[in-house]
A and B are shown apart, each in its own frame.
Chain A
C-alpha cells in the first residue's frame, strides 16, 4: 500500500500556498487598519482632539525623543523610570515569592502557618493598596515598587508551590533510599523539578508587573510611561496618550518574548 507521494506533495504544496496567503492577509489587515485610521482621522470623521492619526503618533514619538513637554521628561527618561520601578518590584517579588512558595510546598507545617495569611491578603488587588502605600511609604520609588511587588508576588508563590508539590514521589523515594537528608532532597530534587512551573509563574508576574505600572505611576511620579500618559490626559495631548500606550504595549511584548527565550534556554523543553 505505499504512501501516495503525488497526493502528499500536492497537499504540502496547497498547505504552503495557504500559509503564505494567510500571512499576506495578516500583513494586509494591519496596513489597511492603519490606512483607514489615518484616512478617517484626516478627513475628520473622528474629532482630532479625540483620535490622533497614526502619523500624529509617529510625530509625537520623534518629538518626545528630544523634548520634555508636556510631562517634563523625554521618552527615554520615562521608559527608564518605568523600567526601574517595575523591575525592582518584580525582582523583589521573585526573590521573596519563589522561596516562600517552595518552602510552603515542601514543609507542611510552614504551609499551614503561612497559607491563611496568604489567602486573606490575596483577594485584595494591588490597586487597592495604593492609598495605604502612599500613607506608609510615601510617594517615592519604594511605594510604586511595593504596588508592583504585590501584583507580581502572588503568581510567584502559587506557581512555585504547585511546582514543588508536583515533584515525582519516586524521585523523592530514591533520594531517601540513598540516605539523603530532607533539606538535601528539597534542594536537589524538589527545587529542580519545580523550575518549569516557577518560570511560568515569573512569566505571569512579569506581565502583571508591567500591567500595574500605569496604576502605580498614578500615585505620584516625576517620570515614567504611566505618568506621561496621565499628564498627557491632563494637557489633552491625545497623541502622547496613544504613544504611551503603544510604548507600554511594545515593551511588554518585547519583555515577554525575551523572557520566553531565557526560559527555553534554562528549562530546555520542559515548559509547562
Chain B
C-alpha cells in the first residue's frame, strides 16, 4: 500500500508527505555518496597503488594547485583544454550553422554539399584522429582541427534538421505578410523558429568537443587535462590520473550547465528540445 501511495505521487497528484518520509527522502541522496566514499576507502586499503584513497587524491589536487607540472598548475591545464575547445567550437559554429541552414533551405545545395556531408557523417569523430595526425602532425593546429571536426557534425546536422522540421505554415504566413525575399523569410521566420534545435546541436557539439580534446591531448600533448591523465599513467601516478578525471568531470558538468543557461537566455520560449 505504501508503494501504491508513492506511485500516486509520481503520477503528479499533490499529496502531503509524512515528516518521517520527508526526512528519509532528504537523506537518501547522501546515503549513496557516503557508501561510495566508504567503499573507495576500504578498497584503497587493499591496494593503494592502483586505487589511492580519496585523501591521496585530494592531496594531489592541492599539490597541483600550487606546484606547476609541465609549466602549468591544475587550473592552467584546465584552461588550456577549455581554450582549445572554445576556439574549435567558434569555427565549427561559424561554418556549421550557415552550412546546415543552406543544406536545409536549398535543394541544390542539399543534393551536392549535403550528399558529401552524409557520406562522411557515419565516420566517428575519434576515427579522424589518426588521419589528422598524419596530415598535420601533433602540434596545436591538429588538436583544434580534431575538435572542430567533432563539433561540426552535430551543428550541421541539427541546423538542417531544424529547417526541414519547420512547419510549412510558418513560411506561408511569412509570405502572406509580404516577406518578399528569401533572405527576409530566413531572418525573421526560419531562424527564430529553428533556434532551439540548432542550439541543441551546439550543446551536443560542446560535450563531444570536450571528449575529443581529451582524446587528442592523451595521444600527444604537453599541456591540458588529457595530458595530465596520460602523464599519470606513464609515471604510474594514479592520484594524478584521478585528479585529471575529477577536473574533467567538474569542467564537463560546468560546460553543460553553461550551455543550458545560454539556451534559456537565447530561446526562453522553448525548453527541453532533445537532440540526437
Contacts and interface: CB of A to CB of B under 8 A. Distances in A.
Interface stretch (A56-64, A71-79, A245-253): A245-253
Interface stretch (A4-12, A225-233, A258-266): A225-233
B249 interface: yes
Given A113-B29, A213-B124, A248-B123, A125 B211 contact: yes
B166 interface: no
Nearest to B119: A30
Contacts, number: 174
A128 B230 CA distance: 9
Nearest to B254: A123
Given A113-B28, A185-B7, A249-B122, A127 B130 contact: no
Interface in A80-119: 106-109, 112-117, 119
B205 to A, nearest CB: 14
Given A30-B115, A211-B124, A128 B11 contact: no
A50 interface: yes
A25 interface: yes
B131 A241 contact: yes
A256 B120 CA distance: 15
A173 B10 CA distance: 11
Interface string B117-155: 001101111111111011100000000000000000000
Interface string A132-154: 10111000000000000000000
A226 B127 contact: yes
A29 B7 CA distance: 56
B238 interface: yes
Contacts of A191: none
Question: What range describes how many residues of A lie at the interface?
Answer: 35 or more
A204 B50 contact: no
A204 B238 CA distance: 32
B214 A128 contact: yes
Interface string A206-234: 01001111110010000000100110110
Interface residues of B, number: 64
Given A210-B124, A241-B131, A250-B122, A132 B245 contact: yes
B83 interface: no
Interface string B30-73: 11110010000000000000110000000000000000000000
A155 to B, nearest CB: 8
Interface stretch (B106-114, B170-178, B181-189, B194-202): B106-114
Nearest to A118: B32
A126 B249 CA distance: 11
Contacts of B4: 176, 181-182
A22 interface: yes
A241 B33 CA distance: 44
Given A241-B130, A248-B123, A134 B233 contact: yes
A24 to B, nearest CB: 8
7 contacts: A109-B28, A113-B29, A123-B248, A123-B252, A136-B51, A229-B127, A230-B130
